[in-house]
Structure 1
Amino acid sequence: MPTAKTTTKPPRGAKAALAASDPVLDLIEADLDALERGATAWAHVTLDQRARLMKALHTTVSAVAEEWADTASTSKGVEPGHPLRGEEWLSGPYAVLVAIDAYRATLEKLASGLSPLDGIKTDAAPGGRLRAHVFPQSPVDGLLLSGYTGEVWFEPGVTDDEARRAAGLAQLEPTASGGIGLVLGAGNVTSIPVLDVLYELLAHNRVSILKINPTQNALLSVFQRALAPLIEPGFLRIVTGGHDVGGALTANARIAHVHVTGAAATFDAIVWGPSTDSGTGGTAERRRRENRPLLKKPITAELGGVSPIIVVPGRWTKADLRFQAEHIATMRLQNSGHNCIAAQVVILSSDWPQREAFLGELRAAYDRAPERPVWYPRSEEKLDAAASAHPSARWNASRTRVIVEADAASATDLETTEYFSPVLGVVSLRGNGQEFLDAAVEHANDRLVGTLGANVLIDPATMDALGDGFEHAIAGLRYGTVAINAWTAFGFLTPTCTWGAFPGSTAADVQSGLGVVHNALLLDRVERSVVRGPFRPFPRSVPALLRPGTFSVLPKPPWFVTARTGATVSEGFTRFRMDGSWARLAGTLVQAFRA
């Protein structure tokens, strides 16, 4: 569908960013021409047609899923046969497939005149909040991930009627165009750029130009084929390149909005400019003080942070100590620690009688996790920096991961530096029960940088003893995702949950970012997501059979770095999402019981 070209020359900012690279600028302008036509076309695509588009995407993503997982694994130095290759199945094609299916269900409801919240239970959460129970939504979810639940908590004061009326976001006005957005893709987890593009399109009616991070260049062809149903009609273009290309796109007048997944320093460079005066009218700090951002268009961001694991003292069995130690090792070591949501600071009670026994299990779990490369740029220097700052730091045998036990006075770097590498800190506070939990919540809120996600481990008996005090403590955690006896990454993988920083950040103090993504129910005025998992795996979970949300049939979740069959099960779960073969799933579940 033809449309007028709004500019025939790159704007001054783009020209400056790319200097004399005219061929690159020409390609960018050609892509933007196609996207302008695509934005016009998208406004004429009905909700029914959008749901069918999700079905087409399911087919194309499934067709490249194996190549996707293999390419991503190999690019990170995880060779064929490695026990952790399953990570790339789950965090790549699996995450995208379940999101596509969830968006399709939302579009079908809207096309039928229903709210995306139709059929979903809501009830009260502490502090005058409404919450929606968004996972599981099907027997399949309940089978594959038994014992896990997900909730979305709305901002205080949102009523049930308001939440249901507003659900759908831009799809409530499908003919209103959001223009062209720029998605600056993450470099660590391969599903992130794709999920961000989907959210731009469906939450905002915004077509996108996606610049993939150079660490994911090997996946360019895979992404192009997986997303062909979006590329062909002009709803998406994918480009590669470094900071020069990103700068040219950010400055281009035809870009209406920017979304970035990365570090706070990257966000600040985009919004406030370089730290030194390079003809931009002052340093970034001066521009920030004077509220003179270089970026004149809206921006959203997911920027990570330092995530806590609050371990509430209780009476744990030896098996509990070992399982939860492996749980924490997974939170830190999945993807070699190169995750925005990798847990970094364990908060223990110095008064817990089992503290030393737990630390012994944690050290052992950290050591016995399979070896893999520390592959993300500059990660090795970050490991060295953490160890140098703490002479008592404990390296593993291959010197690829570090545990640091520090008192509150010497833990500043652990609590304010997102190491983005296998650095795990342990700090201790006084107290037991509610006293400890409240102190740990306050410590996490006030001392740790970022608001993306927090993890809480607590045995059922202690949770029962705390009663309402436990839920009020959870409400007091200022984090966008809170995981109870689960890892916050479960919230990332659950498309009906939201993903992003706790509300309240600003461009001048961005913390873990602005806005949310995923959110396949397209909910408005969301404050956080809360996910819950089983404290004990099968068969030790059997006594909790009648306790909702605590019984699990999984002996060990396949994403645990210590799961012996994790690679096979993760691939099997993904293939079931691809083709729905129950025969294949039966074999996968047998492997899950051998984890």
Structure 2
Amino acid sequence: MAIDSVSKRQPHDIAALDAAVIELRSGAERLKVLPLLDCCELVDACAAAVVQHADEWIRVSCEAKQIAVDRPVASEEILAGPGTLLRYLRLVAAAFRDLHQTGTRRLPGSLRTNSLGRLCVPILPVGSLYDRLIFQGLQAETWLQPHVDEASMFCDVWQTRRDRPARVAGVLGAGNVSAIPATDALHKIFYEFEAVLLKLNPVNEYLMPVFMKIFQPLIDADLLRIVRGDRELGTAMVQHDGIDTLHLTGSHLTHDAIVWGTDPQQRAQRQRDNSPLVTKTITSELGNVTPWVIVPGEYSRRQLKSQAEHLVASIVANASYNCVATKLIVTSRGWSQREEFLDLVDSLLADVPPRYAYYPGSRERFERAAGFMPSGDEESLPWTLIRDARPDRTPHLFEEESFVCVCAETQLDEAAPDRFLEQAVDFVNDRVFGTLCCTLTLPDAWRKQHRTQLERAIDRLRYGSVCLNQWSGIVYGLMTPAWGGHHSGTLAAPASGLGHVHNTFGLAGIDKTVLFGPLSSSPKPVWFPSHRTADRLGRSLIRFYEKAGPMRLPAIIYHALRG
């Protein structure tokens, strides 16, 4: 077993895992009674360390993915690494201070009840972080399940933690986005009050040194241990009697192997008998064939191009190694602008240089998804759009997350916007794998005139996040929304996963996040691949989140307008 840095002493043997769990159990006992202001001090100390070590984090991430650290594309590692984590830490500290001062959370707006009678909780824009300026035109709310009312809309873990047994969580980290293992671990510590043993994925275990520096306050408090090692170490964590809960980000195949075993026949029998190998509480985020639905209608050229660039941004970000990367565009066969839109997507993809294919197994997955093996450079893969894909011909494009830079387009028969939307909801619910997130592009006039029908469609979508005119990766990065698959997932059929992370307001009974945005965005969003100053804007956001205030806004505005 390869093992490294499981405790403050950094031993290198299997006994170290037992020692780390014992230390974490002690930390978990103290966490049960740790005052909220002391929690804030730990959060603030980690935030200060993020600022101090951000450059190192960005550098090692860019080196691993062969990205020039001084080019706009480096913004991906800036924003999906220290930028995202710093925003999260500021939101957590603010929530804890509100709880300490008032006993509740201060929401960024008023509650509303939608046309279906559901309670909708505003979660964006957050005033203290100047979201209305930084995320212009965007609003988000959490739709709660039917049984939840204003009296039961918040989790009670802060009030009940003293009465709960001390628990240690094992977190199996994602290998693609550097902030994921960090925020997953922090959610366990500060929102479920469990000490964490975090195992880094072998793909990004280069984060170990910088994470040890950033999270030293939590390590010193015996609330966190960070390990790196092989599959044997992961198995030992899963089976360890001292680890009470598990959280993993990865493939549903990994989830099923952990819970039900690797032998197909034995796995099927265990599922029939409801006899899982692991009885610990498991939460997870397991990927998605992410759909982008284009409701037919009349769009201006500006709107069409902006939506095409939003979609292309979702494909090329992180070389398409994202669960939120669009993998299926759903259009109407009778939409008059279909060819124009797809031509824009192809043209914009052609403008983006190929990226280093850093994730293991990429070429094999590309060949399966695209149907061919590219010639030439073996270190990169071409952006590929497959038009008019059909479930009966290429079912794997609808049923398997390729986790590679291939996106398919499929057509539905309905041409009228209202009937198409109903057909599209049924299609993505029933024919497309996953429940994590989806996007709807909607004509402005239709959206204004059919608000009730739109809310019914959003309600019927079995996704953890539904975005209007915007990429769902934004929901992940905002941190106030809960992030995870739809709550309909079960241990036997988890789809995109079980439970949620982020959710900095601590909402309970979550149905889904809904993100609202315009068809055309101005200034150009920092996540667009054509943004000319994205890296400098990303670094300005880190400096802003270090200490949010009006004096640090001019640099953000300057680089945003020059994009």
Does residue 438 of structure 1 match 2:427?
no
538, 542, 558: which is aligned to 1:570?
Answer: 538
- Matched residue of 2:229: which SS? coil
User: Within 5 A, what are the aligned runs for 1:263-302?
Assistant: 263-275=251-263, 283-302=266-285
Q: Do the aligned partners of residues 578 and 370 (structure 1) sit closer, same or farther apart at CA in structure 2, a change above 3 Å counting? A: farther
- Matched residue of 2:275: which SS? coil
Aligned twin of 1:341: 324
Q: Do the aligned partners of residues 390 and 458 (structure 1) sit closer, same or farther apart at CA in structure 2, a change above 3 Å counting? A: farther
- Matched residue of 1:283: which SS? helix
Conserved 8 A contact 2:381-2:405: no
How many positions carry a matched residue from both structures?
547
- Matched residue of 1:528: which SS? strand
Aligned twin of 2:210: 222
Q: Aligned equivalents of 2:186 and 2:354: distance in 1?
A: 34
2:275 alignment partner AA: R
User: Unpaired runs of 5+ in structure 2?
Assistant: 4-10
Q: Aligned equivalents of 1:557 and 1:344: distance in 2?
A: 21
Q: Aligned equivalents of 1:301 and 1:114: distance in 2?
A: 30
- Matched residue of 2:196: which SS? strand
- Matched residue of 1:294: which SS? coil
Aligned twin of 1:3: none
CA RMSD, 1 decimal: 2.1
Q: Do the aligned partners of residues 577 and 82 (structure 1) sit closer, same or farther apart at CA in structure 2, a change above 3 Å counting? A: same
Conserved 8 A contact 2:24-2:224: yes
Q: Aligned equivalents of 1:570 and 1:462: distance in 2?
A: 35
Does residue 47 of structure 1 match 2:65?
no
Aligned twin of 1:185: 173
Does residue 70 of structure 1 match 2:59?
yes
Does residue 477 of structure 1 match 2:461?
yes
2:137 alignment partner AA: G
Conserved 8 A contact 1:171-1:202: no
Aligned twin of 2:114: 125
Q: Which of 434-443 and 114-123 deviates more? A: 114-123
User: Within 5 A, what are the aligned runs for 1:361-440?
Assistant: 361-388=344-371, 399-408=381-390, 409-430=392-413, 431-440=415-424
Deviations 1:143-171 (A, max 9, x none): 111111111111113111221xxx24321
1:366 alignment partner AA: L
Q: Which of 332-341 and 72-81 deviates more? A: 72-81
Q: Aligned equivalents of 2:71 and 2:271: distance in 1?
A: 47
Aligned twin of 1:243: 231
Conserved 8 A contact 1:452-1:481: yes
Q: Aligned equivalents of 1:303 and 1:128: distance in 2?
A: 31
- Matched residue of 2:440: which SS? strand
484, 493, 505: which is aligned to 1:509?
Answer: 493
Conserved 8 A contact 2:366-2:373: no
Aligned twin of 2:470: 486
Q: Do the aligned partners of residues 177 and 230 (structure 1) sit closer, same or farther apart at CA in structure 2, a change above 3 Å counting? A: farther
Q: Which of 283-292 and 229-238 deviates more? A: 283-292
Conserved 8 A contact 1:110-1:168: no
476, 483, 495: which is aligned to 1:499?
Answer: 483
Q: Aligned equivalents of 1:459 and 1:227: distance in 2?
A: 46
Conserved 8 A contact 1:383-1:402: no
2:119 alignment partner AA: L
Give the TM-score normalised by the residue count of structure 1: 0.88
Deviation at 1:574, TM superposition (A): 2.0
Conserved 8 A contact 1:576-1:582: no
Deviations 1:534-566 (A, max 9, x none): 21123xxxxxxxxxxxxxxxx210011221222
1:146 alignment partner AA: Q
Q: Aligned equivalents of 2:394 and 2:116: distance in 1?
A: 32
Aligned twin of 1:233: 221
Q: Aligned equivalents of 2:67 and 2:132: distance in 1?
A: 31
Conserved 8 A contact 1:559-1:570: no
Conserved 8 A contact 1:48-1:111: yes
Give the TM-score normalised by the residue count of structure 2: 0.93
- Matched residue of 1:112: which SS? helix
Deviation at 1:198, TM superposition (A): 1.1
Deviation at 1:49, TM superposition (A): 1.3
Aligned twin of 1:152: 142
Q: Do the aligned partners of residues 584 and 131 (structure 1) sit closer, same or farther apart at CA in structure 2, a change above 3 Å counting? A: closer
- Matched residue of 1:414: which SS? helix
Does residue 171 of structure 1 match 2:161?
no
1:474 alignment partner AA: I
Deviations 1:41-96 (A, max 9, x none): 21231112112222112111111112112211211111233331101111111111
Q: Do the aligned partners of residues 157 and 40 (structure 1) sit closer, same or farther apart at CA in structure 2, a change above 3 Å counting? A: closer
1:439 alignment partner AA: Q
Does residue 100 of structure 1 match 2:89?
yes
Q: Aligned equivalents of 1:133 and 1:456: distance in 2?
A: 20
520, 526, 530: which is aligned to 1:558?
Answer: 526
Deviation at 1:581, TM superposition (A): 6.5
Aligned twin of 2:7: none
Conserved 8 A contact 2:237-2:243: yes
Q: Do the aligned partners of residues 359 and 375 (structure 1) sit closer, same or farther apart at CA in structure 2, a change above 3 Å counting? A: same
Deviation at 1:120, TM superposition (A): 3.9
Conserved 8 A contact 2:526-2:534: yes
Aligned twin of 1:593: 561
294, 299, 306: which is aligned to 1:311?
Answer: 294
1:171 alignment partner AA: W
Q: Aligned equivalents of 1:518 and 1:211: distance in 2?
A: 19
2:151 alignment partner AA: D
Conserved 8 A contact 2:367-2:373: no
User: Within 5 A, what are the aligned runs for 1:353-364?
Assistant: 353-364=336-347
Q: Which of 345-354 and 559-568 deviates more? A: 559-568
Deviation at 1:575, TM superposition (A): 2.1
Q: Do the aligned partners of residues 144 and 119 (structure 1) sit closer, same or farther apart at CA in structure 2, a change above 3 Å counting? A: closer
Q: Aligned equivalents of 1:61 and 1:382: distance in 2?
A: 35
Q: Do the aligned partners of residues 264 and 447 (structure 1) sit closer, same or farther apart at CA in structure 2, a change above 3 Å counting? A: same
Aligned twin of 1:5: none
129, 133, 153: which is aligned to 1:143?
Answer: 133
Conserved 8 A contact 1:169-1:523: no
Conserved 8 A contact 2:355-2:381: no
1:592 alignment partner AA: A
Deviation at 1:579, TM superposition (A): 3.7
